[in-house]
Amino acid sequence: MNNKFFDLPKEKQDRMINAALKIFALWGYRHACTDDIVREASISKGLLFHYFGSKLGVYTFVYDYSVRYMTLELRTTVHSKEHNLFEVVKQIEEARTHAMRNYPYMQLFLNRCQIEDVKEALLAVEDRKAALQEQYDNIERQVDYTRLPSSVDGRRLRKILEFTIQGLMNEGFREDKFHPDMLYEEAVNYINMMKGIL
């Protein structure tokens, strides 16, 4: 992490982080432009490069920050003693909602990073990507799929829920009506509907 950056006032830190998250989430590493980041953050390009050195430096920083932030939210929100698939998924979405209240584009950015294809960007975040995946793997291991009807493939059901929630989030951003709490409420409605069907 960039310790000098954290000497800035918190409001300015968050403005810069949110600007970078938004631009990288919407455009991916290849097409993201530092000019757009500084315009979104209302800062000078010199200030951005003073703290991060390059576009790759900004990307690496916000990825590392996002992983740390999301991991903390997951650890504090997803209860290790919860084994019900539907409740675990709700708790994951609650953790993401907490994160997105401060950083609206964080989850969209992390999702976009999963399909990143620029080698330098992939290599720069490889270790941190593994750390976040490990957190999700730990959560996945606590789910007891035997509680579901025997005709249901629990892992496929989990993917259906994940894709549905991602679709809801993408729709919210596309239609410029995204709000984390509204997404959470809608996601819970879909989760409860699926639970009711089973």
CA angle 17, 170, 107 (to 5 degrees): 35
* Topology at the third CATH level for domain 5-197: Tetracycline Repressor; domain 2 (1.10.357)
The Cα–Cα gap between 158 and 49 comes to 41
3-state helix, strand, coil split of the chain in percent (to 5) is: 80, 0, 20
Burial of 40 from C-beta contacts in 10 A (0-12 / 13-18 / 19+)? middle
Domain ranges of the chain: 5-197
Please indicate, yes or no, whether the overall pTM of this predicted structure exceeds 0.85.
yes
pLDDT in tens for each of the 198 residues of the chain?
A: 567 899 999 999 999 999 999 999 999 999 999 999 999 999 999 999 999 999 999 999 999 999 999 999 999 999 999 999 999 999 999 999 999 999 999 999 999 999 999 999 999 998 888 899 999 999 999 999 999 999 999 999 999 999 999 999 999 988 888 899 999 999 999 999 999 998
d(Cα 88, Cα 28) in Å, to the nearest integer?
29
